[in-house]
Amino acid sequence: MSINPPQQFVRWLRHASPYIHAFSGKTFVITVSGDAIKADSVSHLIHDIALLHSLGVKLVLVPGSRPQVERRLAQQNATIRYVGDKRITDASAMQCVKDAASSVRIDIEAQLSMGLAESPMAGMAIRVASGNFITAKPIGVRDGVDYLFTGEVRRVDDQAIRNQLDNNAIVLVPALGYSSSGEVFNLTAHEVAAACASAVGAEKLIVLNTERGILDDRRRPIPQLNLADAESLLASQRKLSDESKHTLEVAIKACKHGVQRCHIISHEVDGALLLELFTRDGIGSLISADFYEGLRVAKDGDISGIVALIEPLEAEGILVRRSRDQLENEIGHFHVVERDGAIIACAAIYPSANKQMAELACVAVHPDYRDMGYGEQLLKKIEEIAREQGVEQLFLLTTRTSHWFREHGFRPARMETLPKKRRELYNYQRNAKVLIKMLS
């Protein structure tokens, strides 16, 4: 049955509400590439950033300006020279950097100052704070190359940034740094953003690139990587684009310095920022320093999540009803798949008295995550546990999903093959089918 637009809106808002509550008062650092700044859709992105601010998120915005600088250099017929991903910045190039960074900053401030009636910014009064938050040092001479006015972050004035955030301002930090001698250095926006995120203890670093995330061999975004997997991917021989490689390096560095999550999304997708933050699956790639998704033993705190997962299936008669008290007593038999704090799948194993047979029960996967392999993961884990316990046969009773279990090695069996105690508890009104899988 299709969902009409008003119902879709209500469903989305209810789904997003936990994130709205969780994000209020948290600090996010967002770095926006220069390509995104000059794109026609930049106004939509600024509106989405303003929406985050209105929801109570503390924002540090670090804009890039590489294409703007290159355009100015081209207008002067100046030579543009890169070593790796860093531009060698001489005096004339540094003037172009200053001009471009100032222009980008003013454009963003103008966008955030809009308040026209019947526009997304109507009624908003957003204060933007910028300043000399970054102390920089020159890269110097490396491998015989003098990088001149190209620098790197030396220190972030985190207290000054926090003060502005506490005053309800969006902090705008250009990719420029200042030295104690009064010099200005050209920095990389991604590195400035990572340094700011680490210094202020941001919960998230959000990178808006051209690519949709860290792409796999089929050019699809990898949904999430933990820190170890991200390091392994970077060290592997897999070919990554220069953008993906640099972004991955920055994300790893940020996660190692206290940032819990780094989101990598494309500015070319309208609403990508909101889709990434307010939907469980997001739209790009997530590098996580903490536990984001995994299969584990259930604990008492999971009971509410399990109840929410299985109640609809109980109402349809697919699962046997379990009271909350029963779940509390049996929670040690359950394994769950947790994704971003939500229980999206569960299964339980109950050993029988003779230890040679065990029951697989309460297998459930959230409708949004079916056909994505979570059921197979749970079944494999339960079978591993059963084998470790010396169980030779795994059995289950089902009314509607016998075909799925048969595809995974279960075969129809007679009631008489079940352990005596389980036969005595059989509900003839449900008329469930008995399936058994040999594990030996």
220 and 94 co-located in one domain: yes
In what order do the strands lie in the sheet containing 285-288? 127-130, 169-172, 58-63, 27-32, 204-209, 261-266, 285-288, 224-226
> Of 238, 267, 290, which marks where a domain is finished?
290
Q: How far apart are CA 346 and CA 297, in angstroms?
A: 10
The per-residue pLDDT for 227 is 86
Here the CATH number for the domain that contains residue 75 is 3.40.1160.10
209 and 302 co-located in one domain: no
The per-residue pLDDT for 1 is 46
Structure tokens at 196: 């700011």
Q: How far apart are CA 112 and CA 414, in angstroms?
A: 70
286 and 300 co-located in one domain: no
Residue 328 contacts by C-beta under 8 Å, 6 or more apart in sequence? 300, 303
DSSP-derived 3-state class of residue 291: coil
> Of 233, 268, 290, which marks where a domain is finished?
290
Here the CATH number for the domain that contains residue 345 is 3.40.630.30
Q: How many domains does the chain have?
A: 2
35 and 180 co-located in one domain: yes
95 and 161 co-located in one domain: yes
Other beta carbons within 10 Å of 159: 11
The per-residue pLDDT for 120 is 63
Residue 86 contacts by C-beta under 8 Å, 6 or more apart in sequence? 139, 147, 150, 188
- Which H/E stretch holds residue 287? strand 285-288
The per-residue pLDDT for 274 is 95
Q: How far apart are CA 379 and CA 406, in angstroms?
A: 12
210 and 185 co-located in one domain: yes
At residue 140, φ and ψ (nearest 5 deg) are 85, -150
Per-residue pLDDT of the chain (440 residues; tens, 9 = 90+): 455 777 888 888 888 888 898 899 999 999 999 999 988 889 899 999 999 999 999 999 999 999 999 999 999 888 778 887 788 999 989 999 999 999 999 999 998 988 655 566 666 778 999 999 999 999 989 888 899 999 999 999 999 999 999 999 999 999 999 998 899 999 999 999 999 999 999 999 999 999 999 988 778 888 888 888 899 899 986 778 888 899 999 999 999 888 989 999 999 999 999 999 998 788 999 998 866 667 899 999 999 999 999 999 999 989 999 999 999 999 999 999 988 788 999 999 999 988 899 999 999 999 888 877 789 889 999 999 999 899 999 999 999 899 999 999 999 999 999 999 999 888 888 889 999 999 97
> Of 239, 265, 290, which marks where a domain is finished?
290
128 and 243 co-located in one domain: yes
103 and 210 co-located in one domain: yes
Statement: the pTM of the whole predicted model exceeds 0.85: no
188 and 140 co-located in one domain: yes
Q: How far apart are CA 245 and CA 234, in angstroms?
A: 7
Burial class (CB within 10 angstroms; exposed 0-12, middle 13-18, buried 19+) of 38: middle
279 and 368 co-located in one domain: no
**Residues spanned by the domain of 92:** 5-290
245 and 134 co-located in one domain: yes
280 and 427 co-located in one domain: no
Contact by Cβ (8 Å): 187, 136: yes
In what order do the strands lie in the sheet containing 151-156? 151-156, 134-138, 176-178, 184-186
Contact by Cβ (8 Å): 412, 371: no
